[in-house]
Structure formats: structure tokens, C-alpha cells
Structure 1
């Protein structure tokens, strides 16, 4: 049930990390270890978020701060102790998203940012980072929010 960058992208990325896990037991064990390690980091972050929200509520702050994701929206990021693995996972998921994209399914600005992110390995200009930040805080559709979340993860931005 744990699939931080989407079900299909997570399985595909595990193949990149561990090798052909469908055919080799040692690769399957490496894939399982990578997935369990990511889930453990995610669980720590969720627990940290819950603790912070309890403290905030005790201080009378009933609504989360802008930019604080609820645990249910903490996807789109491969949780790892090594940031490079998280960046690689986000870029992997973006490549799948771009490859499978219907020509009419995402707005041109988002598609342009995704392509730039892929071309630069996650390094975006200040203007592009501003668009990502603005889009992440707006009430966009899932078609826009998902690739922008992956872009933010690839660029090392705070998760949302």
C-alpha cells in the first residue's frame, strides 16, 4: 500500500534501484529493503508532523500553517536519508508522467517546468521555483498538483 511516487512509478523505480526484482530473489530483497527504508523515514516524518500539530493545537492554532501538508498529502516524494535518492525517484516519476502524458492533459506552463526539471536534473531557475511554489499553494487539480509536487521533490524543495 505504500507507494510514495505513485504505484507504477514506485515499482519502476524499485527496478532501477534494485535490479530485475521480478526475476531474481536477491534483487527482490534489495527492492524490499529500499521500500521498507523509505517507509520508515516517511513514518518518522508523519509522526513528527502529528507531534507538531498537537503542540500547535494546544497553543490554539487550530488550522495548519500554510504549506504544512496533512499526512494524507505527503506523497510525491521518495523518503530517504540520502537526498540524491529522493531526487532520482522524483525525476524517474516525472519521466514516466511526461512519457505517458496525453497532449491535451496538462497546461503548457506545467509541461514546460517538467521538461526543464528533467533536462537539468531538478535544477530550476528562480522564476520556475516561484511558479512551483505558487502552484503548490493554489487549489489546482490533481493533474497539475501531482507533477508540480514531483518537480518540487526533484528540486529538493519542502514536500507538500
Structure 2
């Protein structure tokens, strides 16, 4: 397994819409393993392929608590097929926007249809942190960042800060 570099805001690739995956094969399974390794190393609880520069519709998640056994999940071509009217607010962060956190309101429950690591169709009903994480990572596949769900003023300040850091060699 290989730890991949994570793409950081303001890199325009983060705004790219990811392409569907046509075939699940050993190369794709290796990519899933690399993504999990990268996510655990960061450390994070979710990672979309676009965040390592691969515009394909795949994401990995592990919302297990620290100290508990890992519970890695792989979602290929995930699609939200239902979401609740009930809302919940979580403080979100992002490996592509390091050290910035903001409260985001999203549907409290979602149902996601996808393929698993072996190419088998699965339907995942999620609530709590898993529901939030799935929505956050699926947003990435559509070129949407969690800061797009906060006020325009706050979003512009974050983008300005990261753009300035990128120009000065990455110093925040």
C-alpha cells in the first residue's frame, strides 16, 4: 500500500466532477487500499479519490472510534437515493482544507446505493456521523467542498487564506 499526497485547496482539481467507474478490478482494489492507507495516515475518517488527484467516483470511510477495531468502508459510484427531512449539524473538517472546521447542516439520514470493493451492489442506510461523512465525500465527487455549505463571507475568507498560503509555499 502507498500513501498518496492529498490535494489542498485552492487546487482546481477539487472542483472537478469525478467520472463513473466502469469496472472493478485489482487495480481499483489497490487504489482503494492506497486511499485507506492515506486516510489513516492523515489521519481522517473519509477520503474521495479526487482528493489524491484521481477524478473517479470512489471514496473510503472509517468512522470507528479511536481504540476500536478499524471498520474500513469502500464506496464505488455512490449515489444518495434517499435523504431525511430531519436535519443534523456536525462540525466538519476536510483533509483538503487542513485545520479549518465549521458547522454544517445536512440531512440526518441518507440511503446510499453503491458498489463495494468487490463490485457487488450495496445499499447503505446511514445516520449520525456516517451519514454526514457520506454526504461530505459524495460532495467531493461532484466538485463540492464543505465550505460551500457555510456563509459566503466565511467561505471567501477560507479560500483567500489557502490561496495566499499556496502562493507563499504552503505556509498558513
Q: TM-score, normalised by structure 2?
A: 0.31
More strand by share: 2
Looking at secondary structure, tell me which structure has more helix per residue: 1
The TM-score with structure 1 as length reference comes to 0.33
